Chain A
C-alpha cells in the first residue's frame, strides 16, 4: 500500500524525462512572440477606421465652431482633460515647502511642489488586469520628454516615495525601488469603470 504522494512521485514523468531542449523552447517562444507582434499590427489596422471617422467628426465640429465664431457671440471653446494625471516626488516626513496628502487609510505623504509629469507627457495608457479578476491597474507610457523628466526626477529619489495623482487625489505613493523612465504601472484596486475612466481621460489634453 502506498500513499497518493508516493504513487504520484513514483509515476512522475519528470523523474524520467528531460525538460524540453533549447530548440523546442525557442520554437515556442518565437511562435508566441510573433503572435504578439501580429496581434498588435492587426489591432493598429482596425484602429484606423474609427480614427478616420473621428477625424471626420472633428473636422465637422471645427467647421461649425469656425462658423459660430464668425456669426455668434464671442467666446472660447475649451476642452478640458477628463482626468488630470500628475506625478510628484514625495517624502515620508514633513519639511518646509512640502504639502501633506493622504494616500489611503491613515497613511500620509508630503508632496513636493514641482510636478514631474502630467497628461502632456504621456504617449499612451491602457487598462491592465489587477490583483484579482474584478480589480484593474492602469499602465502609462511616457513620451520622450516625459521619460526624460521621469528619469531625471527619480534617479536620485530611490528609496523614497513617489506620488501618483488622479484629479488631484493621491491614488498611489509607493516607495521607488529603481528609477523610472519610459513607463509605469499604477497597479491596485481600481474597478473596471474607474480604470476605463482614467485611461480614457488621460489621453485627452487641455487645449
Chain B
C-alpha cells in the first residue's frame, strides 16, 4: 500500500476553493477560450467548472497536477454537453428551415466560406482540446494523455482524426500535418 505525503490541507471549503481558483483559473480560461466560440462563453465554462468543484469538494483530488487534470476534464465535459446541445439545435434548425432560411446549396456555400473558427466547432470538445494542447500549448502526448485521463494511443488517434476532420472542412487550406511528438 503506497502513500506519499502529508500536506497542509485547507480545512475551510471556501479556502480550498479559493486556492484552487488561484492556482488554475488562468490555465482553465486559456483552454476554455480555445474551446468556446466567445469569450463570455469561456468565462461561463470556467465558472461552471469551479462551481462543480465547490459542490463536490471531496471529488477534487489532492496535488496540483491531479487538481489540474480533474478541472480540465470537468471543463471539457461541460463543454461537450454544450456542444451536443448546439449540434442538436443546429440540426433541428436545418430540418425546420427557419434559422438561416437557406437551402442546401446555400448552406454548402456557407460552409465553404466558413472561418477556421467555425470549422473547429465541428470537432468534439475532447478532440479539439487534444489538438489545442498539442499544437498551441505545446504539450507532449504523454502529458495530454495524463490531463485527459486517456491513453497516449487515444491522444494520437484524436490528433490524427482532428487533423483529418479539419482538412476535410477546410479543403485546400490544410497542408502537411505535423508529426506527433
Contacts and interface: CB of A to CB of B under 8 A. Distances in A.
A131 B66 CA distance: 7
A17 interface: yes
B117 interface: yes
A9 B120 CA distance: 12
Of B11, B61, B117, most buried by chain A (CB within 10 Å of CB) is B61
Nearest to A8: B135
B46 A5 contact: no
A interface, size bucket: 35 or more
A7 B174 CA distance: 8
Interface stretch (A48-56, A60-68, A187-195): A187-195
B9 A33 contact: no
A104 B166 contact: no
Contacts of A108: none
A7 B170 contact: yes
A37 B10 CA distance: 13
B3 to A, nearest CB: 3
A29 to B, nearest CB: 5
A185 B62 contact: yes
Contacts, number: 191
Interface residues of B, number: 62
Nearest to A184: B6
A10 B170 CA distance: 14
A7 B166 contact: yes
B136 A28 contact: no
Nearest to B73: A133
Interface string A12-24: 1110010110001
Interface stretch (B52-60, B78-86, B105-113): B52-60
B1 interface: yes
A169 B58 CA distance: 26
A17 B33 contact: yes
Nearest to B5: A174
A129 interface: yes
Nearest to B56: A39
B16 to A, nearest CB: 7
A33 B14 contact: yes
Given A1-B173, A5-B135, A13-B33, A36 B57 contact: yes
Of A9, A178, A187, most buried by chain B (CB within 10 Å of CB) is A187
Nearest to A5: B135
B50 to A, nearest CB: 4
Contacts of B53: 32, 36
Interface string A77-94: 000000000000000000
4 nearest A-B residue pairs (beta carbon):
A1-B175, A172-B3, A188-B3, A184-B6
Interface of A: 1-5, 7-14, 17, 19-20, 24-25, 28-29, 31-37, 39-40, 104, 126-131, 133, 137, 139, 141, 162, 164, 169, 171-172, 174, 176-178, 180-190, 194
16 contacts: A1-B172, A4-B135, A5-B178, A10-B116, A11-B116, A14-B34, A29-B50, A32-B54, A37-B13, A129-B70, A137-B61, A139-B9, A162-B6, A164-B3, A177-B5, A187-B5
